[in-house]
Structure 1
Amino acid sequence: MLGQATSAIPSPLYSLYADKWHYPPFLTTVIFAAYGAVAVVAILCSGALSDRYGRRPVLLVAVVLLLAGLAVFLFATGPASLVVARMLNGLGIGAIVVVGGAALLDISPERAARSGTLTAVAFNVGIAVAALGTATLAQTGFHPLLLPYLADALIALVLLVLLAVMREPHPSPGGAPLGIPRPRVPKEIRGRFVFSVLGAGAAWAVLGVCFSLEPSIASHAAHIDGPFFGGVIIAAVTLSAACAQVVGGRYPARTVALTGDLALAVLMLAGVGAFATGDAVVITVAVALQGAAYGLAFGGSLRHLTAYIPAESRGAVMSVFYLLAYGALITPTLLVGVGATLWGDTTIFPVFAVLAALLCLSAVLVEHVLERRRPRTGAMPMPDAVVGELDRVD
């Protein structure tokens, strides 16, 4: 929760930073993309490091990186400082997500599915609380570029003390070989992989724009001054995503993924109309529904893929999956930033919405074609209990 809250704090403040230092929207997306670029490095490396050296040392380093990033935010002197701060936070948050999940499995492996669901909810609640709290401070003008980071740093310091006295949960640190899985996808699951990564990529593309430019786009569309409404937008997306993931976990993964992809395509197009109304309530409802569709599309795609990955290829396949997912998070966000700089954010948003809808529909089309070609004697999916545990491991 702390890690995801830290990732969300700057989002409502980007407009204040842009006004303070007079930089264009494209630079906002560069600052956001810097976080994603280094987070994937941490995700790929931290699991192997924690297997070799233990969960506690890696988590301690991760929280120190988190604090270092917060310190840079506090003393930021320009956009370059924000890039450095986001990169430090990205390294820490990526490691916390992976190693924290692994530590939960070490402590209570029999509750893998339950702890995974609670973790997903905690992540989204952390984002929502941080976004709303930061936006409220920013709206009042009471040290918005200082107090959110200080409050987060205080919680991080408490966590650092708890980690320092925590017993190592990993049963045999020091015995695992140190290495990063080589990204590859076995031939027998490539069709399912393409379907899953298209759906997840579309979902993350929407999320990237939501966390970087959509708060300011929504405020401009609704003619609302100040960052508070942007915080409401982020909270609406994350809370509805959490609810959708909890409900979607009860149904078959392929059905959930297809439903999420279709819903996200329709809702992205409907969102263009919602933004055109200029009504704050209509816009909030539209983005909340988009958040629910995002939760279904990403959660279902990931569960569908993990059900068919051979055990010996799990790390390699998930490496490719997250590399492409983060690419989908970063690339469209940067392109939208370029468009917003050249033509204006409210002009470029409908273009992005149409392209995101087409990407979602392409995932549905790919799965439809592959399902018709798929031999009925293919590999059987794993039981739901096993899939749930693998989701948490991955």
Structure 2
Amino acid sequence: MIKPAPDSVRPTVADRTEPPVGGRFVLGRRASLLVSAGVVSHTLWTSAAPALTYGLYADEWHLTHTVTAGIFAIYPIGVVVMLVAFGGISDQIGRRATMLAGLSASLAGALLFAVAPDVWWVFAGRALMGIGVGLAASPSTAAILEFISRERAKSAASVTMGAQAIGFAAALLLGGALTEYGPWPTRLCFSILAVLLLILLTATWFLPRHPAGGAVGDWRSRMPSVPTDVRRVFAVSSTAMMAAYTFGVLVLSLGGQVEHDLIGSPNAFLNSTVLSLFPIVMGVIGIIARTLSPRVALIAGALISCSGMVLLILAINERDLVIYLLAIAAAGGAYSLLFVGGLQVISAAAPERNRGGILAALYLLSYLSMGALALVLGAIATARGLGLAVDLGAAAIILMNVATLALATTTPFTKPHSAAPPLST
């Protein structure tokens, strides 16, 4: 609900809301949490939005696997560049201002996709989407942690993951339907995304303002950083998140072509429905994951992930659609467990004054691994075939899960920092 700004927020140690100038209205806690979850949702929506159009671009502009993988990879590269340069900036200028900048870049990227006359416009749009997500990912995650009530603090990771699942599934199902049955198959889905981003941008404007938390002019503090005392726990979380995020390479970058080969259908909506099994299972398992301890979630996620990658290798080699569906479902469940477990661990250990920078460092490693793997596998798919690329990608993810298992079973986890007091609504 919207109410006058001076009465809407009670100050906390980490984030004291300043009275707005000129009687600006701001959102209460519940509405702010919903908008922050929407910003998180857009990060996976923009990531998955072109998944069903890669093949159309390849046919229209005669693109190789290397080029289509490059379109995918420019997105995490853009994310990484922004995280390296400005990963901790939300700790300096506030969550709201940083999310507004990120949503503006994502909106510009969606508009470029909607009017793209050639592949270079697509590359530019994808880069802008990466810049937008690089700016918005960590502050929106931090905002969820800060706007959620004390009683539901443990659910913050599940709320974040659930928002990702909704954005992911919506991008695939809506994008597939519009691509297959709507006019302008390479443009309409991005036009609708642009409208949704504009609405979200407007809602974000009404979030509470938080003052800068660091030293003015200290650019080093705006880069992602991890305090020494939480680096061991950060290693657990980052390894789990890297394993989870690299699923995106196999599901989004190469998954469309894999499904085309296995299903034998050019129907984009059918292919998107199969791909959407990943976020659907991801959302369902997220409800279960919040009831588990972080250690149990990480161990279970790593084991299920390894099983899913073995199934994926079998599916490609045997050309078996049923095994492929099982692999996608396992990957979705594993993503949920690894993400929720990893985020719970780092959220408990991260001091509030450094939360934005620590989460930025976490996303930095996740997107860096995704981009690097996408480029390597795209080149291998072009030179040696899609099957070998998927096999090597699955093997790389298995190795990350082995590292996650080793760290999760040997690292002592930190007790949670105290949650912020409730905000009025």
One-letter code aligned to 2:135:
A
Partners of 1:311 and 1:299 lie apart in 2 by 19
Q: Does 1:334 align with 2:334?
A: no
Conserved? CA contact 2:311–2:323, under 8 Å: no
Tell me which residue corresponds to 2:183.
Answer: 142
- Note the residue ranges of structure 2 that are not aligned, 5 or more in a row: 1-40, 421-425
Structure-to-structure mapping, 1:149-168, within 5 angstroms: 149-164=190-205, 166=206, 168=207
One-letter code aligned to 1:18:
A
Partners of 1:125 and 1:381 lie apart in 2 by 30
Cα offsets for 1:91-141 (capped at 9, x unmatched): 223333333344455655535444553342122112111211111222236
Tell me which residue corresponds to 1:183.
Answer: 225
SS in 2 for 1:169: coil
Deviation at 1:340, TM superposition (A): 0.6
Deviation at 1:342, TM superposition (A): 0.6
Tell me which residue corresponds to 2:209.
Answer: 170
Conserved? CA contact 2:88–2:357, under 8 Å: no
Partners of 1:113 and 1:91 lie apart in 2 by 30
- Note the residue ranges of structure 1 that are not aligned, 5 or more in a row: 390-394
Distance 1:3 1:290, change over 3 A: closer
Conserved? CA contact 2:110–2:194, under 8 Å: yes
Distance 1:332 1:47, change over 3 A: closer
Tell me which residue corresponds to 1:219.
Answer: 260
Deviation at 1:277, TM superposition (A): 4.4
Distance 1:7 1:348, change over 3 A: closer
Pick which of 346-355 and 65-74 moved more.
Answer: 346-355
Deviation at 1:291, TM superposition (A): 1.1
Q: Does 1:65 align with 2:98?
A: no
Structure-to-structure mapping, 1:187-202, within 5 angstroms: 190-202=231-243
Deviation at 1:199, TM superposition (A): 2.8
Pick which of 153-162 and 83-92 moved more.
Answer: 153-162
Distance 1:388 1:24, change over 3 A: farther
Deviation at 1:318, TM superposition (A): 4.1
1:76 is aligned, of 101, 116, 125, to 116
One-letter code aligned to 1:180:
R
Tell me which residue corresponds to 1:287.
Answer: 328
Partners of 1:55 and 1:20 lie apart in 2 by 41
Q: Does 1:203 align with 2:241?
A: no
Cα offsets for 1:295-325 (capped at 9, x unmatched): 2123223323444456776566544433322
SS in 2 for 1:144: coil
Deviation at 1:161, TM superposition (A): 3.7
2:307 is aligned, of 245, 255, 266, to 266
Conserved? CA contact 1:138–1:144, under 8 Å: yes
Bigger helix share: 1
Partners of 1:381 and 1:15 lie apart in 2 by 46
SS in 2 for 1:9: helix
Tell me which residue corresponds to 2:53.
Answer: 13
1:382 is aligned, of 397, 415, 420, to 415
Deviation at 1:182, TM superposition (A): 5.6
Partners of 1:7 and 1:291 lie apart in 2 by 16
Deviation at 1:357, TM superposition (A): 1.7
Distance 1:5 1:189, change over 3 A: closer
Partners of 2:386 and 2:190 lie apart in 1 by 28
Partners of 1:47 and 1:195 lie apart in 2 by 20
Deviation at 1:14, TM superposition (A): 0.6
Pick which of 204-213 and 152-161 moved more.
Answer: 152-161
Q: Does 1:38 align with 2:78?
A: yes
Distance 1:89 1:249, change over 3 A: same
Partners of 1:380 and 1:225 lie apart in 2 by 48
Tell me which residue corresponds to 1:352.
Answer: 393
Deviation at 1:367, TM superposition (A): 4.8
Conserved? CA contact 1:46–1:58, under 8 Å: no
Q: So what's the TM-score if we normalise by structure 2?
A: 0.77
Deviation at 1:163, TM superposition (A): 4.1
Deviation at 1:175, TM superposition (A): 6.3
Root mean square deviation of aligned Cα: 3.0
Conserved? CA contact 2:69–2:374, under 8 Å: yes
Tell me which residue corresponds to 2:63.
Answer: 23
One-letter code aligned to 2:415:
M
Distance 1:209 1:387, change over 3 A: farther
Tell me which residue corresponds to 1:275.
Answer: 316
Conserved? CA contact 1:51–1:170, under 8 Å: no
Tell me which residue corresponds to 1:392.
Answer: none
Tell me which residue corresponds to 2:139.
Answer: 99
Conserved? CA contact 2:144–2:160, under 8 Å: no
Pick which of 188-197 and 76-85 moved more.
Answer: 188-197
Partners of 1:182 and 1:69 lie apart in 2 by 24
SS in 2 for 1:10: helix
One-letter code aligned to 1:151:
I
Structure-to-structure mapping, 1:126-141, within 5 angstroms: 126-140=167-181
Distance 1:116 1:259, change over 3 A: closer
Deviation at 1:85, TM superposition (A): 0.3
Fraction of identical pairs, as percent: 26
